[in-house]
């Protein structure tokens, strides 16, 4: 059977191998999934078996955004019944990047539900998960698991805000109001920035407005009104025209932070703007200390994650949830409810 056929057959089994019967590895705990959420990365793997140039070698359970309840603490400090946020970055703790505190750039790290880790590690879209205790962040009582599943994607958004240097009082433009753009908006608003958001889809712009941004529907306004207005642009669409909008909308010496999940492609971008305005263009990949920052934001209850949630599906309907995401008409994050959710 070709790998493509194997993967196509596997696509019907998005929810992967269930209850591990083996012993729990040292330093790991066993968990019952509470709530997980869908990411563009999951959709790329589901739709064409690759993401950002990484091709799946064999079937794998998807999912890297989730929270769960501890069912076996396996001798660690965690308590049975405790709700924890799952940090999917299992870094090596000893390479140069790890020693700098940049575990996102650890070249030896393991990441679940991803072709970047070979052999692939099953992701979080399953009922029973074993995970390193050090990557489980227990939360205060009363935190909703429907909100806590946002810890990982919110950490990604906060990393992009940190790379862009977003602070209170700045004018920030977010291009693209998909789930990641919406989280960048909510994070920037929580920091006290003045946020404008643009998207082609009026429904997505509506959610951006509810998240605290001034929203503009592309095509319904003259983009010249954006020219040189912004201290920071967060590019969250991955669409090439949006890069050119970002380069015209940024002020001199402003920063453009790339939050979008860029696929392997060539693009025509107006590089001369980067020269003329001395623009800094910064990449953003996953997160570091922002995971803790995100969990604290969730615990504080300052962001309305219900507004940022498009739809909830039971885990058994994960495939339908991915199809709905692919259709592009679900505005906000799609979440998956486990038995513990
Ligand atoms: Zn993700
Ligand atoms: Zn490392």
- State the distance from the centre of ligand 1 to the C-alpha of 325, rounded, in angstroms: 13
Measured CA to CA, the distance from residue 125 to residue 38 in angstroms comes to 9
Q: Which residue has the tokens 């309840």?
A: 69
Distance 338 CA to ligand 2 centre (A): 31
Indicate whether 238 and 316 sit together in one domain. no
The DSSP letter of residue 266 is -
**Do 208 and 258 belong to one domain?**
yes
Residue 53 falls inside a structural domain: yes
What local confidence, expressed as pLDDT, does residue 320 receive?
95
Residues 274 and 164 in one domain: yes
CATH code of the domain in which 329 resides: 3.90.180.10
Give me the residues near ligand 2 (ion), CB cutoff below 5 Å: 91-92, 95, 98, 106
Q: Which ligand is nearest to the CA of 45?
A: 1
Checking phi first, is residue 287 left (phi over 0); if not, alpha (psi -120 to 50) or beta?
Answer: beta
Question: What is the CA(220)–ligand 1 centre distance, in A?
Answer: 31
Q: Does residue 31 sit in the same domain as residue 123?
A: yes
Residue 150 neighbours by CB distance under 10 Å: 28
Domain range spanning residue 117?
3-150+308-337
The CATH number linked to 234 is: 3.40.50.720
Indicate whether 66 belongs to any domain: yes
Separation of 37 CA from ligand 1 center, angstroms? Answer: 8
Coil, strand or helix at 289 = coil
User: Minimum-distance ligand to the CA of 123?
Assistant: 1
Distance 32 CA to ligand 2 centre (A): 28
Ligand nearest to the CA of 95: 2
Q: Which residues, at least 6 apart from 323, have a Cβ–Cβ distance to it below 8 Å?
A: none
Q: Are residues 205 and 269 in the same domain?
A: yes
The alpha carbon of 41 and the centre of ligand 1 are apart by a number of angstroms equal to 6
Q: Which ligand is nearest to the CA of 333?
A: 1
Å from CA of 102 to ligand 2 middle:
8
Is 299 contained in some domain? Answer: no
| CA 134 to centroid of ligand 2, rounded, Å | 15
Instruction: Please check whether residues 161 and 143 belong to one and the same domain.
Output: no
295 found inside a domain: no
Cα gap 52→34, rounded to integer Å: 29
CB 221 within 8 A of CB 331: no
pLDDT at residue 328, as a whole number = 86
Digits of tens for pLDDT over the chain (341 positions)? Answer: 566 666 665 554 455 555 566 899 999 999 999 999 999 999 999 999 999 889 999 999 999 999 999 999 999 999 999 999 999 999 999 999 999 999 999 999 999 999 999 999 999 999 999 999 999 999 999 999 999 999 999 999 999 999 999 999 999 999 999 999 999 999 999 999 999 999 999 999 999 999 999 999 999 999 999 999 999 999 999 999 999 999 999 999 999 999 998 877 888 999 999 999 999 999 999 999 999 999 999 999 999 999 999 999 999 999 999 999 999 889 999 999 998 77
Residue 155 CA: which ligand is closest? 1
Q: How far is the CA of 119 from the centre of ligand 2 (A)?
A: 17
The answer as to whether 294 is a domain residue is: no
Among all bound ligands, the one having the nearest atom to the CA of 288 is: 2
Q: Does residue 266 share a domain with residue 210?
A: yes
How far is ligand 1, taken at its centre, from the CA of residue 227, in Å? 31
What distance in angstroms lies between residue 275's CA and the mean position of ligand 1's atoms?
32
Ligand sitting nearest the alpha carbon of 105: 2
Cα 94 to ligand 2 centre (Å): 5
Task: Supply the pLDDT for residue 3.
Answer: 60
CA-wise closest residue to 288 among 106, 107, 150: 106
Same domain, 171 and 262: yes
Number of domains in the chain: 2
- Distance from the CA of 213 to the center of ligand 1, in angstroms? 23
Task: Please tell me whether residues 16 and 82 are part of one structural domain.
Answer: yes
Distance 33 CA to ligand 1 centre (A): 17
Residue 292 lies in a domain: no
Q: How far is CA 14 from the centre of its chain?
A: 19
The pTM assigned to this predicted structure is: 0.93
Residue 12 confidence (pLDDT): 47
Q: 247-251 long-range CB contacts below 8 Å, 24 or more apart? A: 247/273, 247/274, 247/277, 247/279, 248/223, 248/273, 249/173, 249/223, 250/173, 250/277, 250/279, 251/277
Residue 288 lies in a domain: no
Same domain? 144 vs 23: yes
Expressed in angstroms and rounded, the spacing between residue 92 Cα and the centre of ligand 2 is 4
């Amino acid at each position: 059977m070709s790998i493509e056929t194997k993967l196509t057959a596997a696509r019907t089994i998005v929810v992967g191998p269930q209850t591990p019967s083996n012993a729990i590895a040292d330093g790991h705990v066993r968990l019952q999934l509470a709530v997980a959420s869908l990411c563009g990365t999951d959709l790329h793997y589901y739709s064409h078996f690759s993401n950002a140039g990484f091709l799946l070698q064999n079937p794998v359970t998807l999912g890297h955004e989730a929270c769960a309840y501890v069912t076996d603490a396996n001798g660690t400090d965690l308590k049975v019944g405790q709700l924890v946020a799952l940090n999917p970055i299992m870094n090596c703790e000893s390479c140069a990047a790890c020693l700098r505190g940049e575990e996102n750039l650890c070249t030896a790290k393991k990441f679940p539900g991803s072709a970047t880790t070979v052999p692939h590690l099953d992701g979080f879209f399953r009922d029973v998960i074993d995970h390193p205790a050090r990557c489980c962040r227990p939360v205060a009582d009363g935190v909703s698991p429907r909100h806590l599943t946002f810890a990982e994607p919110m950490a990604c958004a906060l990393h992009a805000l940190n790379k862009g240097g977003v602070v209170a009082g700045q004018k920030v433009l977010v291009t693209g109001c998909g789930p990641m753009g919406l989280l960048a908006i909510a994070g920037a608003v929580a920091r006290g920035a003045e946020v404008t958001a643009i998207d082609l889809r009026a429904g997505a712009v509506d959610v951006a407005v509810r998240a605290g941004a001034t929203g503009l529907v592309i095509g319904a306004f003259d983009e010249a009104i954006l020219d040189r207005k912004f201290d920071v642009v967060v590019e969250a669409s991955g669409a090439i025209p949006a890069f050119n909008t970002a380069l015209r909308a940024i002020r001199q010496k402003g920063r453009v932070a790339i939050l979008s999940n860029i696929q392997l492609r060539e693009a025509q971008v107006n590089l001369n703007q980067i020269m003329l305005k001395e623009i800094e263009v910064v990449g953003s990949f996953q997160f570091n200390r922002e995971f803790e920052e995100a969990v604290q934001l969730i615990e504080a209850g300052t962001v309305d994650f219900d507004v940022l949630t498009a739809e909830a599906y039971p885990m058994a309907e994960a495939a339908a949830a991915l199809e709905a995401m692919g259709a592009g008409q679900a505005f906000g994050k799609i979440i998956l409810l486990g038995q513990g959710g």
